[in-house]
Amino acid sequence: MMDYRELWKEENDKISERYNLAMERIQEILTEPQVQKPFDNYFVQMARFVGQIDDLARRQAQGELDRLSLEELARLNRQLYEDILPDHYEKSYGNPAYAAGILGKDYGPLLASFYAQLRGAVVFAYECRLTDITILCETFIEIYNRFEGEVPPVKAIRDILYWFNSDYTDVILPYRIREQLDESLSFAKDIILDSDLNDLRYLYRFGEYISDSELKIAGFLNSLPGETIARMAETYVEGYRKGFVVMGRDLSKKRTVAIRYELGFERMIREAIYLFRKLGMEPIIYRAAVWSVTRNSGRKLGYHGVSPNRQYDYDHRYDQAVYLDKAFKDRKLAVLKTAYETWKKEASDFAGPAVVETFGEADFQPLNKPEALSLSKKQEELAIAYSREAMPVINTYVPGEETSFTIIAFPLPDIGKDFEEIFAETIRINTLDYEIYKDIQQKLILALDEAEYVRVTGRKAQGVAGRADGREGDTGSPQGRGGDAGSLARDNETDIRIALHPLADKTKETNFENCVADVNIPLGEVFTSPRLAGTDGLLHVNQVYLGNILYRNLKLWFSDGRVSGYSCDNFDNPEEGKALIRQEILKNHDTLPMGEFAIGTNTAAYAMAENYQITRKLPILIVEKMGPHFAVGDTCYSWSEDSPMYNPDGREVIARDNEISILRKEDVSKAYFGCHLDITIPYSELGDIVAVRPDGTEVFIVRDGSFAVDGTELLNEPLDGVKAVLQNLRQSGGRYETQDKRKAYGKTKKFRGRGFL
């Protein structure tokens, strides 16, 4: 493979004169500042940072960084990211609140947004991409020049930032498309394949912030037997292959797969690369987006490390407010089309992503800062419009009906003292018996297919006050991706009716897909795309983690399948809670439809979560298998509704459309929202799930939190163990004894998968 230094050599040679001139000019700022207070310190700090970048780029180009010790690399890494780490962030110009306090409420947020963008130069230096560094530095000089002498009008600075992002979109966006499709951009893959992974210096070669978490997980994986690593990789790659089989798609027509993961898992990823190659697939491994033009609010798509500061990420999630208008939206869309046309051969070869997620980070409660940039109502509409208009473009070159994906998740050491046990149990959960679950879920589907609609209700409080771990504080059930020990100290108020599609022939058609271990690992759910008309009621979860945010007392009301109201208790001011839901759950839409209703069946995963009291730390990938869940946004089959889908029993899943997605046949821009977010009611908060037939008679799928369909009794063994613990909790006043946990968890033995460790 080509060395990345050589890959960019020709382009770097062309830009070198501009690069050197920019660096010389910026260093003059340190010796002869010509800017009034209070702006002088901002520019001096920025100039010093650019000096660090110049030194970093030159050392990287000469291969000097490869010769540094682990301690030297760690010190350098901290120096590069130190200013935005929590200990320093309160006095960082990257903090919009601090910048506004020093530079003024008009200038501060703008200059903070550019500061955040300039920090992207760190990874550009590691990749030896001098063009990206140069255009950032030239823009910094342009801003500085306007401040020389008199302080410029705010509009002048906003205009510089606007035209910078607009003019360079045709550089930034095409590269982003290319790096997701072009296997020759092998910067990360070369590190993974060519490094001695026992020498943890390799982690610092990526250019990302490296915390103790990445070092610990990499060290832990190095300690595991080769068979365990192989099993992890096999489960991941085989899930990807099975996804194509289940969906009836031909993997042999594709040539590339995108591996997305979090740093520290390189030993598993290396093995996965070899396995994908055996399937005839060449992996592409690209970095999470750095430019604000290509970032997704709240999501990192690509490899990355643990965030140096999640509040910093949150503060800058809407930096596009500086430049987003209709002209920019239209320009970006035109560039997108051109970029895909340029890389259309690579796009046709692309099979879809294979994702490794992690869980276990500390809880994050964001602070809404009025100084942080936010989208206006008009800009929200433009962002939504771009997403809707971009999807048909992408689908033209990467057709949804020809691709698939897989997702798997593992814990981080941050999850606590039981990390190694939890990691082992996660592997077990990821390798549960396919056949057992397939047969049980088939029985659930046969009962559900009798129904005209399904009614889901929450459980009443069980009388255990306080936290199950004995600490004072939040008394709500920590469930949803929430939950310590399954105690429910507050009612779950869910009462919702889900309308199902009529079946013309129940011997040939079904509403629910029998989902086992393929695209979503671990196995364990049956799901459908509901009819919107007649889907009404309240969805309530006492606590739920969605993305990186913990929602307290989350409520969503549905009317004819659309969200008609919402609230949460995250802030003293209810309006702030509504704003958070609108931004992060509804993705700035006024409403979203219910795109999915599912029943999770992985009670073994639930028992694991209760045993270690980690439900609130689990990703939705696992939690969605631990109770009924409801997705807002697109259906499960978006962009592939016309591709037939069959269950193992041969019946076709006909519930692939709803009243909104079917609009694609008339106007595709009205059919999709570009989002799909699952919200789970955990078993500890669940009352009943009842299938109601057209004649009004009822079939209990779940009664009082336990599965009630004949043939599903095995699912209740882990649940019964947890319930026994809860009974002991009530009798002991809230104490949660270790021996009780082990007794409860022992009930899952019939579900044990292949051995490991």
Q: What is the mean pLDDT of the chain?
A: 90
Mean pLDDT computed over 348-371? 92
The pair of three-digit structure tokens given for residue 673, joined into one six-digit string = 């929202």
The helix-helix angle for 39-61 and 107-118 (nearest 10°) equals: 10
Residue 655 identity = A
Give SS3 for 568: coil
Tokens of 485: 């020990």
675 pLDDT above the threshold of 70: yes
The answer to whether 448 and 454 have CB atoms below 8 angstroms apart is yes
Residue 64 has pLDDT above 80, yes or no: yes
Q: What is the mean pLDDT of residues 213-218?
A: 97
Position 728 scores a pLDDT of: 66
pLDDT recorded at residue 484: 41
3-state SS, residue 700 = strand
- The pLDDT value recorded for residue 620 is 85
What does the pLDDT read at residue 479?
Answer: 33
Q: What length is written for the chain?
A: 757
For the chain, helix (H) and strand (E) counts, in that order, are 26, 19
pLDDT digits (tens, 9 = 90+) for 125-139: 999 999 999 999 999
pLDDT above 70 (res 249)? yes
Whether the pLDDT of residue 376 is over 90: the answer is yes
Residue 283 is predicted with a pLDDT of 98
In this prediction, residues 576-597 reach a mean pLDDT of: 94
Q: CB burial class (10 A; 0-12, 13-18, 19+) of residue 69?
A: exposed
- Using the structure block, give the residue that is written with the tokens 């016309």: 642
The tokens for 400 are: 């949804």
Confidence of residue 659 (pLDDT cuts 50, 70, 90): very high
Confidence of residue 734 (pLDDT cuts 50, 70, 90): low
pLDDT of 744 strictly over 80? no
The pLDDT-based confidence of 729 (bands split at 50, 70, 90) is low
pLDDT of residue 475: 29
Q: Give one DSSP letter per residue of 458-481, joined into a string.
A: EPPP-S--S-TTS-SS--S--TTT
Rounded to two decimals, what is the model's pTM? 0.88
Find the mean pLDDT for residues 104-122. Answer: 97
3 state SS for 360-375: CCCCCCCCCCCCCCCC
Could you give phi then psi for residue 525, rounded to 5 degrees? -165, 155
Q: What is the 3-state secondary structure (H, E, C) of 206-229?
A: CCCCCCHHHHHHHHHHHHCCHHHH
Average of per-residue pLDDT across 327-342? 98
Using the predicted structure, report yes or no on whether residue 473 has a pLDDT greater than 50: no
Q: What is the pLDDT of residue 469?
A: 33
CB 156 within 8 A of CB 144: no
Least confident interval from 244-248, 572-576, 726-730, 734-738: 734-738
Q: Is residue 650 exposed (0-12), middle (13-18) or buried (19+ Cβ within 10 Å)? A: exposed
Q: Is the pLDDT of residue 3 over 80?
A: no
CA atoms of 525 and 519, how far apart (whole Å): 12
Asked if 393 and 334 touch (Cβ cutoff 8 Å), the reply is no
Distance CA 509, CA 446 (A): 11
User: Residue 471 has what pLDDT?
Assistant: 30
Q: At what angle do helices 419-430 and 603-612 cross, to 10 degrees?
A: 180
> Nearest 5 degrees, angle CA 747-CA 753-CA 757?
105
Structure tokens at 498: 């889900």
Please name which of 403, 608, 429, 442 lies closest in space to residue 521, comparing C-alpha atoms.
Answer: 429
Please compute the mean of the pLDDT values over residues 646-651 and round it to a whole number: 92
Which carries the bigger pLDDT value, residue 257 or residue 400?
257
When pLDDT is averaged across residues 476-484 and rounded to a whole number, the result is 35
